Structure 1
Amino acid sequence: MRQASLARSLLLATAVGLASAPAATVPAFAQAKKAETVKSEKQSFSVETVATGLENPWGLAFLPDGRMLVTEKAGRLRLILPDGKVSPAVTGLPKVDARGQGGLLDVAVSPDFANGRLVYFTFSEAGEGGVNGTALARGRLADNAARLENVEVIWRQAPKYASTKHYGSRIVFAPDGKTMFVTVGERSDKEFRVKSQALDETLGKVVRLTLDGKPAAGNPFEGRADAKPEIWSYGHRNPQGAAINPADGALWVTEHGPMGGDELNKPEAGKNYGWPVITYGKEYSGAALGEGTEKEGMEQPVYKWVPSIGTSGLAFYGGDALPGWKGSAFVGGLAIPMLARLEMSDGRVVKEERLLEDMGERIRDVRQGPDGMLYLLTDSAEGRVLRLKAAANGRS
């Protein structure tokens, strides 16, 4: 009953928040370069290049005035100006352990940014002896946006491990404006991945925190001596996409499978999503993995990809600028470079459409902008910010 009450509160907060949220400034990006019109099943659109010259960008967030913050995995935070220019690196960030899949990862702007100018970010934090772990930090963005001030790490995956893979690291603010979710990877190696099933560690979990980084009240394992109180759900592999679905007010995540078996999940309080006991994938060697695809007490994915597309980023489209896509979910593809559009009905995926396959660029993140358009980050040494805009002739 407690979790049902919490879920109802989150849904109610979503409705209230959407109704009362102040309108954000629409970004101009006057120098955006247009591409040819692309026809899709529900919406014709064009692809505009908003900004270029980003080194392996990972996360994107909009400031209330429409400017964007973008992380570069090497450890730099950039501001994208309305004319598309990329600022010098914002100073004041901690040193990141930018090895392998690690580095500066997601970024999110506080829901109360106007009153504190707080920016949250995740990164791989080094420890002694070559170990590292996912860390969540926050700092005040200076009035001139050139520096983060009073930066503090407010949550850490502990203990740290000697791996350079699977950090997870997406940040999502809950609709109540008082709590947040952070996804945490299981660090990949066989000796670590089993910890996804352990409740006394935070590998392979979704954690739910206060905005100060403390375990949020009402979490499912609160008060248990054998469990971390911040855990929301467990049995995850490497969730690199996360978003609140406006249709139900709930958190949804995408996570990488091994060779095959990428998943779209709707993490619910206290539930076990199976990794590495059940999976639709195999070891990269081709060997069987786990105990099969189903087991009592473990959840099935809402949707799965076999073979893997390399899921990263997740957005539920709820704007009016691309009306043919309203209600669809969008997922970036890394292993298969493209953007997947998932048509949703009653919490299920009823159709997948693959977009931008001819572009051949890895999509690391996808967000709905304050102008109602979709923004993408391409993952390369010369990464770009792209904007998907409705074509003049509208729907396909």
Structure 2
Amino acid sequence: MELRSGTQGRITRLRRGCKRAEPPNANVRRDASKVLRPLPVETNDEEEELMEEGDCFSTGFHKHDSLHPAMFFKTPRYSLIREVGRGSYGVVYEAIARRSGARVAVKKLRCDAPEKVELALAEFWALASLEKKHENVVQLEECVLQRNGMAQKMSHGNKRNKQYLRLVETSLKGERILGYPEEPCYLWFVMEFCDGGDLNQYILSRRPDPRTNRIFMKQMTSAVAFLHKNNIVHRDLKPDNILISQKSGSPVIKVSDFGLSKVCAGLSCMENEGDNQVNKNMVNINKFWLSSACGSDFYMAPEVWEGHYTAKADIFALGIIIWAMIERITFIDAESKRELLGTYVRQGTEIVPVGEALLENPKMVLNIPQKTRSIMSEGIKRLLQDMLAVNPQDRPDASQLEVRMDQVTCAA
């Protein structure tokens, strides 16, 4: 099998795996003068209501409630400036935090169908579960639930918020709840703003730079190791979902878009301590099996195509991204018409995702690197071969990968 480098293949096959919801209606666009006003209201009243005035979030409550005025914000907290992105199930705006003047990203997700609710809640659960911050994982500032003129700050596992519980039930059942009102429901995510675009835009708009490649490789690996340590499998690692922040003056990777992520729990691992086995009461994420074949074709591991995989699938996806970044292997996406970083196998006139090709032919040897005059070191070559192993047990886990990545990038 021949792998093509620096060429443009046209992808015409249908996308497989977990399908994202259809794009929201055009009427969700906002004028730059409109403002977002999320209001965190925490009460013990299960009948609590929150309401919106115009295009701003504000609060209201039943006449029987007696909430202290200090619990409400009198002025908008964020001003929406412009729309900066529109994905398959949400819209992203650049906004200004009124109090600090800092730029933030505000993502508005419409939760009007079970599949959209599932994606929105997956992102919220993943980001809300992180007790610590990581420089290379996008930071969630707050999440606000809005429905039919009502808004409330989301808190993980809030059993007193009926709207939140309805969203969870909708996601779990995969169907609309009987009697559920038809008014629009939205989740607003306020996150740090990344001004450098995504990895595709950043890499392909600049001349090749081995130093930048090494920095990005270490940062991406560090982010995945952090997520896995916190029991999160991303499941949709790709250049589109890797953003670049330049606030510090140097580019910094930010892994984002957790709509397909999975927070793993329920498995504990036993460790030997002397002659005794000790239950560490922690998840062994590499033994937590997942079955939903989801992700983006060109970055999916062979076992994901089969629908039986673990966190090692993230390691495979990261290997594809790093390989494509170093050698600038690209294709043209049939839907967006964008040039994207991604490694593939050429079969006749078609180009096939590496994972799919390996599933069909597990004995296939990948030609790493592709170019005869490649700048890829032997250490990185061996590491990529291990990351892209057909058998996930032959791949390093995220912690092992982080150690090896430090070694090969320092030696390069």
Q: TM-score, normalised by structure 2?
A: 0.27
Q: Which entry has the higher C-alpha Rg, 1 or 2?
A: 2
Query: Which one scores higher on RCO, CA 8 angstroms, separation ≥ 6?
Result: 2
> Which is richer in helix?
2
> Which is richer in strand?
1
